[in-house]
Structure 1
Amino acid sequence: MSAGDVFVIPCLSDNYTYLVRCHETGMTAIVDPGEAGPVVAELEDRDWSLDLVINTHHHNDHIGGNAELITRYGAKLIGPKAETMRIPGMDQKVAEGDTVMIGALSGQVFDVPGHTSGHIAFYFPAVSALFSGDSLFALGCGRLFEGTPDQMWQSLQKFRNLPGDTLVYCGHEYTQSNARFAATIETGNVALKARCAEIDDLRARGIPTIPSRMDKELATNPFLRADHASIASDLGMEGATATEIFAEIRGRKDRF
C-alpha cells in the first residue's frame, strides 16, 4: 500500500498544482497553488482540510493562491529560503539539504537555480514524486529568467540519479510543444518519436501528460541529454561542452 497520494489539479490556463496526502497521518499539502479556487473545490469534494502550502519559487502563477488558502485553512507556508524577500509569510524556509515533512512523508530539498535564482524542488521517495516546479518539465526545462545556462544544467544534473520510476510533477502542461521542439534536436531518437505520438494521443483526448517518469525524461528530454553524443552530432557541435550544447538547445527553444 502506498504511503500517500498525489492528486493533479489543473489551474489557471496551463498550470498544475498538486495535492499531497499522507495516509498515516492524514496531513495534506498543496504544492505551487497558482490560484485557490480549484484547490478549495478539490478539498471540499474530499471533505479535507489543508495543513501545508509548499512553493518551489516566487512567480505568481505558483504562489497566487497562497494567501487565500492560508487564511481559509490556517495552513503553514514552506518555501525557498533564497526567495524570502519575494514570497511573503513563509513559516519554514528551506534550502538544499533540508527536509520537508508532510505528516510521515519525508521530502528532500534541492536547490535548482536557473528559472529563478532561488528555485527549489522537492523529492518525496515514499510516493516516488519529484515536484520540480519550473526547473524540469516533461521534455523541457524552464526559461532562464534569472540564471545562466551553466546554473540550469548543473541544477538538472541533480535529478538524473533519482530512480527511473520517479514521477515528475512539473508546473505546466507544456509537453506537446516541448515534444515538437525535442524532435528537432535529436532526430534519430526512436524513444522520442514514440513518446511524441503518445503525447499527441493524450492531448487529443484531453488527458494530462503529467506526471511523466524520470526514465522517460532521461531517454527523451534534450535538456537532460546535452552530454549525449547523438545530440552533439545532430547539432553539429562535436567537441563542445555539455554546457555549451545545453545553452544552444535553450536558445533554440526560446526562439521556437
Structure 2
Amino acid sequence: MIVEQIWTGNAYRNFNYLIVCPENGEAMAVDPLDHEKCLGRAKDKGWDITQVLNTHEHGDHTGGNAQVIEATGARLLAHANAKDKIRGIDVGLQAGDVIKVGKTVELEAMDTPGHTMCHICLKSHTDQPALFSGDTLFNAGAGNCHNGGHPAELYETFVEQLETLPDDTLLYPGHDYIINNLEFTLDREPDNEKARKLLAEIKDQDPSKAMLTTIGQEREVNTFFRLRSPSVIAALREKFPDLPKDPTPRDVFLKLRELRNSW
C-alpha cells in the first residue's frame, strides 16, 4: 500500500490522502478538499483515482468531491447514514465493510461516531497497520463535537475501538494540530516527559513533511488516552472540584473534552 499524505496549507490545516495499489496504480482519494493538489499528484505519479471516500460530512472534507469525480469518474463512498448529508454517495458504508483499492489493498470501515454521528475511520489490512482517522483521532488529540457530534459517543469510540488497535498502527489524521495538542497534554499532565520531548522535536516541522505517530505513541502523549493518569486526574480536580474521588475514565474523558473546547 502506498499512502500519499497531501498537505493543503489551508487555514483549517487539512490533510488529504491518496491510498494507492502499488501493483496497478489504482487510487482512492480520502477527503480530497484540495482537489487540484490531489488530481495533480495522481497525474504526476501516474495513478488512477477510481474511488473517493469521505470520512464524514463536513465541508472541509467533502468540498473537493465534485471536481475529483468529474475529472476521474470515481465512485463516492461514505457512511451509510450520511446519504442526506453528502450529495451523490454511490456506496454507503457500515462497520466491517471491506473496501478494495486495486489488486492488493484492503481497508476496513470502522463506524466511529463522536465528532459527527456519521463518521468513518479506515484501518488497513496490511503488514504495517494504518488508521485513516478523519476528525476522530488527531496526533495527540481528539476531535471536537461541535457540529453534529456527541462527546459521550466519542468516548465510546476511543475505548471500544481505538484502544484495541495494535501499538504499531500508523496514524493518518484529517488535520495537523499536533503542536497545540501536545501543549494541551502538557497543560493537563505537566510531568509527561515523552510529550515534552516530542513537542521539542517537532515544533519547527514542515507539515508537508509531517512525522507519523503510532497508536503506541498516542497512548503515551495523547491525554485522551491517559484517562487513568494520576497527574491528569489531579490537574483535572483543580478545574472541577466536584470531580468524584475516584473518577471513571468516562468522567475524565468528558471533562478533558470540555476543557479542550475552550483551551
Which TM-score band applies after superposition, normalised by the shorter structure? over 0.9
**2:155 corresponds to which of 153, 156, 160:** 153
CA distance in structure 2 between the partners assigned to 1:58 and 1:168 by the alignment: 21
CA distance in structure 2 between the partners assigned to 1:108 and 1:156 by the alignment: 17
Q: What do the CA deviations read for 1:27-63 (whole angstroms, capped 9, x no partner)?
A: 2111111121111121121122211111100011111
Paired position in structure 2 for 1:191: 194
**Counterpart contact for 2:155–2:250, Cα < 8 Å:** yes
Alignment length, in residue pairs?
251
| Partner-residue secondary structure (3-state), 1:169 | strand
Which amino acid counterpart does residue 198 of structure 2 have in structure 1? R
**Counterpart contact for 2:7–2:16, Cα < 8 Å:** yes
Paired position in structure 1 for 2:240: none
Paired position in structure 2 for 1:253: 260
Which amino acid counterpart does residue 74 of structure 1 have in structure 2? G
Q: 1:44 to 1:207 in 2, by over 3 A?
A: closer
Structure 1 gaps, min length 5: none
In the TM superposition, residue 119 of structure 1 has moved relative to its aligned partner by 0.8
CA distance in structure 2 between the partners assigned to 1:227 and 1:124 by the alignment: 29
| Partner-residue secondary structure (3-state), 2:158 | helix
| Partner-residue secondary structure (3-state), 1:143 | coil
Superposed, 1:232-247 pairs within 5 Å as: 232-236=233-237, 237=243, 238-247=245-254
Q: 1:6 to 1:135 in 2, by over 3 A?
A: same
Q: 1:65 to 1:197 in 2, by over 3 A?
A: same
Q: 1:207 to 1:79 in 2, by over 3 A?
A: closer
Structure 2 residue 142 is matched with structure 1 residue 141: yes
TM-score (norm 1): 0.92
**Counterpart contact for 2:6–2:208, Cα < 8 Å:** no
Q: What do the CA deviations read for 1:91-135 (whole angstroms, capped 9, x no partner)?
A: 111011211111221111111111111111000131522110000
Structure 2 gaps, min length 5: 238-242
Tell me the percent identity.
Answer: 31
Superposed, 1:35-184 pairs within 5 Å as: 35-103=34-102, 104-126=104-126, 127-145=128-146, 146-157=148-159, 158-184=161-187
Paired position in structure 2 for 1:213: 214
**Counterpart contact for 2:20–2:47, Cα < 8 Å:** no
| Partner-residue secondary structure (3-state), 2:122 | strand
In the TM superposition, residue 228 of structure 1 has moved relative to its aligned partner by 3.4
Which amino acid counterpart does residue 114 of structure 1 have in structure 2? G
**Counterpart contact for 1:227–1:242, Cα < 8 Å:** yes
Deviates more, 1:42-51 or 1:163-172: 42-51
**Counterpart contact for 2:141–2:222, Cα < 8 Å:** yes
**What's the RMSD between the two structures over aligned residues?**
1.6
Runs of 4+ more than 3 Å apart: 206-210, 227-230
Which amino acid counterpart does residue 211 of structure 1 have in structure 2? L
CA distance in structure 1 between the partners assigned to 2:97 and 2:211 by the alignment: 26
**Counterpart contact for 1:132–1:170, Cα < 8 Å:** yes
**Counterpart contact for 2:30–2:54, Cα < 8 Å:** yes
TM-score (norm 2): 0.90
